[in-house]
Structure 1
């Protein structure tokens, strides 16, 4: 099995790569940071192929895919993992540039990667697309605004893929985690403020990147007649937020 993972240089992506390689599969490691990709590829050996690519750049996607050796081109599983959240400001205070970056990565980049690899899957009569969503796509919270909206897009796009792909043998799943620690997610969201990032997980036992990786591996190794439409994961320390009520 050949697995193509975007955002593979750290966090969920790197851990998913380790999991698939450990079980004997080949992994294309796609991300922007060459040094991190090279380090991960050195760790994983010949079963991993680093590919420098920015999902927000359609030309970069096409150029990178053209560089794949012939023996690596039959992608069985695409994991659209590249994504980010920026800031927690209210909508009337959030920088428009942050919103645009989240949309271009979480939505536009995801659909561009899907469109690039999907036709070959359909032609072969099999394949799997795992889109990394979030519970934020289902449950709003103050400061979630555009991030939550991008993950709601991921949910609907995945379901609409399923509608189009009935009978093709190609599967699609939205894997939507809740609170998950041990990654750069919150450090990126708070733009390098490590103290603010650490506070998010203070006193909790969050999900780990390993939990997400094991779930992705389970999805990819199910019998091919089974499609899991949506998986929502939360740690037991997390629940559903109450309605926000502004009191005088």
Structure 2
């Protein structure tokens, strides 16, 4: 049997039905983890599980809307009941709806806050006791939370106001939690990608997409696999080494 850095571990990846989440699930499975993929689009999750299993990995599709606290709790419980442990949580699910504050659709603000912040909080709260337990055993002597933020969690631009607010908040929460649990061998890190080729922009209006295209000066964007590699790097460090923050940018992005 091939033994890799994450053999025997169990990971949850949210927002796993496309983009960064899908790529991350595949990469963690390649490193030996059993991967639970969480999202609302069950058909895509089933396809991903089949692909991971075809490559010799183990995966579980968990359909859930993590903005609903009960569904988030049930998703974590399902994974722990299925595999007996939880070692890694990747909070990747996110939504970016852009536009000026004046005249904004408040429902869009609520949707972003719900997925980018409340969903992350629900999953973290439910997962943390299991991660603390895994960190105490002899498998790795460590457990991991990786929160996917954004360059918009470091820098704000017009029309990015509420999205930036949610992502700046992820940075603050991540660092506070890191200080709370790092001495109990639970590593908590944040990853801030720059421009990545995903579905993130597609949820915006045509007007917003046209405006972004008009100002786009990034000839080569990152691919989801690039971010998956970064997440895998964070969770495969030796137990004495913790990556608290990783900023992953296209070389051409200023």
CA distance in 2, matches of 1:171, 1:190: 38
Shift of 1:192: 11
Q: CA RMSD in A?
A: 2.1
Unaligned stretches of 5+ in structure 2? 1-8, 137-141
- Whether the 8 Å contact between 1:86 and 1:191 is mirrored in structure 2 is no
Deviations 1:92-150 (A, max 9, x none): 12211111100010001101100101112223433100000011011110111010010
1:51 partnered with 2:62: yes
In structure 2, the residue matched to 1:18 is 26
How far apart in 2 are the matches of 1:208 and 1:29?
19
Determine the C-alpha separation between the residues in 2 that align with 1:69 and 1:118. Answer: 12
**CA distance, structure 2, for counterparts of residue 212 and residue 206 of structure 1:** 11
The answer to whether the aligner puts 1:118 opposite 2:135 as a matched pair is: no
Do 1:3 and 1:75's aligned partners in 2 also have CA atoms closer than 8 Å?
yes
Structure 1 residue 70, shift from structure 2 partner: 3.4
**Aligned with 1:166: secondary structure?**
helix
Q: CA separation of 1:200/1:82 partners in 2, compared to 1, >3 Å: closer, same or farther?
A: farther
* Aligned 1:25-36 pairs, distance under 5 A: 25-36=33-44
How far apart are the structure 1 equivalents of 2:65 and 2:206? 19
Tell which deviates more after alignment, 211-220 or 44-53: 44-53
Residue 77 of structure 1: how far off its partner (Å) = 0.7
Q: Which digits, 9 at most, give the CA deviation of each residue in 1:11-42, with x for residues without a partner?
A: 00000111112222211011100111111111
Counterparts of 1:194-233 in structure 2 under 5 Å?
204-233=219-248
Instruction: Tell me how far apart the structure 2 counterparts of residues 197 and 75 of structure 1 sit (CA, whole Å).
Output: 39
Partner of 1:105: 115
Question: What TM-score do the two structures reach when normalised by structure 2?
Answer: 0.87
Q: Matched residue pairs, number?
A: 237
Q: Which residue of 2 aligns with 1:5?
A: 13
8 Å CA contact retained: 1:190, 1:197: no
Which of 48, 53, 61 is the matching residue for 1:40? Answer: 48
Residue among 155, 164, 177 paired with 1:139: 155
